[in-house]
Amino acid sequence: MCTAATYQTKDFYFGRTLDYEFSYGNQVVITPRNYAFPFRHEKNVPTQYAIIGMACVMDKVPLYYDAINEKGLCIAGLNFVGNVYYPPATGKAGEVAQFEWIPYLLGTCATVQEVKVLLNTITIVDTPFRADLPTAQLHWMIADASSCITVESMKDGLHIYDNPVGVLTNNPSFEQQLFNLNNYLHLSVKSPQNTFSSQLNLTPYSRGMGALGLPGDLSSQSRFVRAVFVKLNSRSGDSEAESVSQFFHILGSVDQQRGCCEVAPEQYEITIYTSCCNASKGIYYYTTYDNHQISGVDMHQENLDGTQLIAYAPVKGEQIYMQN
């Protein structure tokens, strides 16, 4: 499935992996301030902030997987299959379809605190984008430079959790994921000491044994533990190159390789793309499964007062630098 994370050095970074067995045709898409987003239920949407993120554009509408706005607010939607409930639309004020959730929040909010306030007045409804595109079952990580939350819409209501680790994967629910970290409180980046028994002369025989027991499989709960451990213990310089490089290394710890997760006969889930957004500067970096070169799009190099979507197709093919 997917993993999202935050990272802070001199600037604030946000990104995710998108893990699936096929792509809908992703593009880096900038939605300028004056683009008339065709919201299905809410017609009087306040002044819009510009947005950049990875999306599939259908019928001239960007269906965002993850995005940031010009104010530094970030959102990623990740699969949460089997737990989600969106009520049907009733015509009441404040109804927002799931597929327009990201542009609605990013277009109207500048901070996580503003999102929290807005969530008291709106309802995520199950209106599909098209009849042939069922409503995706998602939960969301929403972050800015000072705070991070997870939002889950379930049968018993809308749950908003403070996210102290800045990581999200898929099932189970976020509060269960957090509690599960207690099972790994013994992990350490340091070489372990013998606490097994004073009667035995046990010594480490390899570097890295402090993290013995860190999950390495591709399940969502294991990826959550691994990503949290790697992110919270990660160290880098604070330059742009060092920060971006380290962020891709963090998410690289949960990368999925073709052949390791079979979802149907001869169909394998892979990490289709990995994103890293400098939310402080409005730059969207990414790599793809077939191109590990880091590519980037700077939203501030475009006319953010425009009315038309601006889209960049991902750079295709592995970029290999030969030195002789």
As annotated, the active-site residues are 2
CA distance 151 to 119: 10
CA dist., res. 273 & res. 285, Å (int): 10
- CA dist 226 and 35 (Å) reads 39
Please name the residues in contact with 201: beta carbons below 8 A apart, sequence gap of 6 or more: 194
User: What gap in Å lies between CA 83 and CA 72, rounded to an integer?
Assistant: 29
- Beta-carbon contacts of residue 69 (< 8 Å; ≥ 6 apart): 49, 50, 51, 52, 106, 107, 109, 110
Distance CA 8, CA 145 (A): 8
Distance from C-alpha of 241 to C-alpha of 16, rounded to nearest angstrom: 18
DSSP 67: E
The Cα-based distances of 30 to 16, 35, 64, 282, 300 in angstroms read: 18, 10, 10, 10, 10
CA gap 77, 111 in Å, rounded:
17
Q: Who's near 18: CB < 8 A, 6+ residues apart? A: 2, 26, 54, 65, 66, 271, 272, 273, 274, 275
- Of 14, 72, 87, the C-alpha closest to 277 is 14
Distances (CA, A) of 245 to 262, 277, 294, 297: 29, 12, 9, 16
Token pair, residue 143, equals: 């972050």
